[in-house]
Amino acid sequence: MEFTLMQTVVATPELARSRVSVICSCVGRRMVGRNQIDFGPARTALKRRSASSGLRSVRAEMAAVTLPSSRSEGDMAHPVRLFVGLPLDVVSKCSINQEKAIAYGLRALKLLGIQGVELPLWWSIVQPESSATNWSVYLALADLVRRAGLQLRVSLHLHSSAKPAVPLPSWISRIADANPDVLFTDLAGRRSHDCLSFAVDDLPVLNGRTPMEVYEDFFLSFRSAFSEFVGNTITEISVSLGPNGELRYPSFPPNSENHQSGGIGVFQCYDKYMLANLKKHAEENGNPLWGLGGPHDAPAYNQNPDTSGFFRENHGSWETPYGNFFLTWYSEQLLQHGNRLLSLGHKVFGDMPVTLSAKVPLLHNWYMSRSHPAELTSGFYNVEGRDGYDAVAAMFVRNHFAMIVPGFDFADGFKTQGSLSDAELLLSQILEACHKNGVRVFGENMSLTKLGIERIKRHLFSDASPLRSFTYQRMGANFFSPEHFPLFTDFVRSLELPELDADDVLSNMGGKISLPIDAASGNGSNRLMQTV
């Protein structure tokens, strides 16, 4: 259903906010699946609001929303580009999930003054059965975003996901069934299906081709298919570097919430390709016995670091010459993998008018211990007296990539009891490494809470904040809930967002904004309502 918008004047930001409230009052907060949203009917509320105040023009609302009259937190030193992540399961193999609902949500974000949305683009949806690509659903979604007048940050996901359930492509899984060593493996022989082992990056294990060759073809195909969107709608491309898209090993307990668990993780170096690499490295360094496997005295996933010898706070094996040898090798494998993918991303996309980015994790558990075990098992050789993020930042700037850092909602004193966590100090260390090396920093959150929003605001309003872009994760039933969305609206109004061009808005929308009153049913019985 479409409403023709009459051009009138909005006098205050509060009145502009009410227009957004009209839209969001139509949101039926029913979960269809994790991170999916469904917008139910609200004809009565819309009629009442329309009768009392009428629908104002998009042009006037944009001006009011993006120029707030006051700043309770103080003026910001610079504007921040604000994106909102689309649901992780926004697309299935055949269609856009809840397309009308997504279109409705996009318009609500546009009215708030959001610059764009982040699109999780899954390898397994584009290449489910073979290396042949099918971009049709994602192209339709990109066009939906373009018609909403928003920009698009595309995240090219080369990994799997447990929630929602998005596996690796089935043709990759068949190869892994025949040769399980293409997957990361722990000491107990358990295989991780998060992503392919870094040790096979340049080995022809995928039907005679290397993963890097397959990734390059995937990137080139994306570039060709989305050429009409690049530089106007698509302004940023993010490249997945490992599990959850982050530069790290899949070292955390299976089925855990990644680095949100309190575990220390387990070294992932027991597939035959990683072991062969380790053996060769040990022999070249004159210590062949060190290449027989990972540390024998490292604890299991959820054990305390002091339950065995390797991570012990004082006189642990991590401090010995062997510990230094192994941890140096293990972290180098991660850096080499990251460098290969970042270099490939720059090779394929570097001449395009887009910003390239990739994500690092915020591994804050056990950060206050001397050995930093959660970081070590994930591949970051960051211990007392050694900066494990300087080389990472240097790698990003060398390949002309911005660094996405999650967890700004966990900073400002966030600590996890019992795990010597300190998200604030770790975040400060990562940001310092980026500042030292000249790396641009893009922020993300990891929760939808009032306290989290306040923590994000403190960082964004800080004079020392390096952030120029922030992606708020992510749309869904919780995002549009009456408990959360008003908080998010106030958060947006507190930021100094770059001004929007209202002429472009009206041009993109054709002077109209689609507001599906019964998006869930799609019954076609909607009546045309016109402003008075």
Active-site annotation, residues? 246, 444
Spatial CA neighbour of 400 closest among 430, 437, 367, 364 = 437
Rounded distance between C-alpha atoms, residue 125 and residue 138, angstroms: 9
Bridge partners for 96 per DSSP: 91
Are 172 and 197 a contacting pair, CB within 8 Å?
A: no
Helix (H) or strand (E) holding 513: strand 512-514
Torsion sign (Cα): 494, 456, 459, 399: negative
Cα torsion 163, 29, 137, 524 to 10°: value is: 150
Which helix (H) or strand (E) segment holds residue 117: the answer is strand 116-122
Cα–Cα distance between 387 and 57 in angstroms, integer? 53
Determine contact, residues 106/515, Cβ cutoff 8 Å: no
**Phi/psi of residue 13, nearest 5 degrees:** -60, -35
Structure tokens given for 187: 């000491």
Token pair in block for residue 234: 């698509």
The total number of residues shown for the chain amounts to 532
Alpha helices, H only, 318-468:
321-349, 373-378, 390-398, 423-437, 450-460
3-state DSSP assignment of residue 2: strand
Q: With contact defined as beta carbons under 8 Å apart, do 290 and 329 qualify?
A: no
Cα gap 190→128, rounded to integer Å: 24
Please check whether residue 106 is in contact with residue 145, taking contact to mean a CB–CB distance below 8 angstroms: yes
